[in-house]
Amino acid sequence: MDYYSNNSDNSKMIKAALESSTYEDLMSFAQVYEYQGMALRSVLMHKNAFNPLSDSVLENVKQDFLDVLEDVFKLSLFKFIGFSGGFDDLRRFSPAQLAGVEYAFIGDALDRLYVLYVFEKITGNSLVENDGLKFEDLLARKFGHLLYDELLPQKVEIDLKSVDGVFSSLHKITPDQPELDLHKDVKELSRIDPDKKISEDNKKKIIDISNRYNLEFAAHAAYALGYTGYYSVVADISVKGKRRYVSIMCPVKGEHDGTCVAELVNDFTDHITNQFDKYLVEVLYVKIDWIPITSLVPILIVFRDDDYEAVEQFAKAREFDRCAVLLQKILMMTMRRRGGKTYHDIDDYNNYGFCVMNAGGLEKAEVVFKDCNDAHIVSKINYAYLQMCKMNYMKSKKMYKSLIKQLTPDYECRFLNLAIVHDEIESAQTVIEDVIARNVVCWNAALMSSYLQESRPLHGKSHTFTL
């Protein structure tokens, strides 16, 4: 972002405008930014949904939003599309006449990225975007928030999390696709025994279900943050004649059996009294169910195995930068929290450091190896090799000599690094094929041996090994 901020006129204007704004001004900016690209009449309808609707109500919403919009326009970060008049003209328009008026944020995709960065840096909050969704999709998404805000508190006996920690998804329903049923599909997952080898058919089923409802991150979050499971509310609704399937997953910590859940909410209108017909929304059904973490375990297993296979392939191809990115994802997805502290699998963490080191990130890798130095002998070997990369040869050799005695006596294991780094080593590929993904960390031993001989590193292409 530093390069961009120094070479773009828009970036200077964005930064100056936001940094000179008060907190209230920034919140107004966030509101205007969320609705860019939408017709103003749709903005008014969305802001008022699903409250009572009349001409006078919509007129009041119009005037309030135009006040906010006019103040934010003074920052010169937005422009009207297809409208050359001023705000006095807009105030004289009826809400219906605003259907042809839109506005947009200035600049290109990189400018949008930069404004997200600057806003979060100043406020600590993220800007909300409508993601190019159509009006009926935005209404459906707001309906999902209504389920969380209004229905769940009346139906379940738990303390609800902030809505930011809730997983939601929105799907279009078309005549040529199978009916969506999150709860039925999750029950299918619960029938798969995670302690047995997962068949290819079941693997495909797990991936399909996970992708269908965006469950991968929810499964990893439950594992990492110690959730017992999720209360899930799903709804099949019609918006302006177009069917949408909305799902909300609210995380729960602590022991919970979910016995108070009724599968089908027949008394929905008793709990939610908002006006839907005025917004051309028809509620076909609403269901609540309890999803225990155990039902999501097959997702964890399948995606973990696929990721580790990819790690091994990237490492064999010496694509350490790609390998490091994937390992970073694995670390995020498998982290655990206990007592306010974050924990990672030691092998994954060490593998990440090894790949970062081989991709040139020595300082970053050193932090990793120091973190797990006392807990893992291969991390100590990695740390010794890193010292050599930093040209601390004597320190590296001393560390290596004290560690080599603790390594496995397996001859092949000691020379794995040479197989990775030196193509000319005889039977290199054979050695690579014997490598297990989680033993990536052992590859350093032979590299240390090849470069260190007595008190100085080897030069040229000599292959004298001192173990």
Residue labelled with tokens 């009346």: 154
Q: Are strands 102-105 and 227-239 parallel, antiparallel or unpaired?
A: unpaired
pLDDT in tens, 192-214: 888 788 898 998 999 999 988 88
Instruction: Establish how many alpha carbons lie within 13 A of residue 286's alpha carbon, considering only the half-sphere containing its beta carbon.
Output: 22
Residue labelled with tokens 């197989």: 419
Q: Which of 178, 219, 212, 183 is nearest to 302 (CA)?
A: 219
Q: Does residue 133 register a pLDDT over 70?
A: yes
Q: Which of 187, 217, 214 is nearest to 290 (CA)?
A: 187
* Confidence (pTM): 0.65
What per-residue confidence (pLDDT) applies to 369?
A: 83
Q: Does residue 459 register a pLDDT over 80?
A: no
- b/e per residue 10-30 (b: at least 16 CB within 10 A): bbebbbebbeebeeebbebbb
Question: What is the CATH number assigned to the segment(s) 317-457?
Answer: 1.25.40
What residue ranges do the domains of the chain occupy? 2-123, 135-296, 317-457
pLDDT in tens, 18-66: 899 999 999 999 999 999 989 999 999 999 999 888 999 999 999 999 9
- CA 74 to chain CA centroid, Å, is 34
Q: Does residue 467 register a pLDDT over 70?
A: no
Over residues 159-168, mean pLDDT: 68
Q: Which residues contact 408 (CB under 8 A, 6 or more apart)?
A: none
pLDDT in tens, 210-232: 988 889 888 888 877 778 888 88
Measured CA distances, 72 to 27, 54, 69, 229 (Å): 10, 27, 5, 42
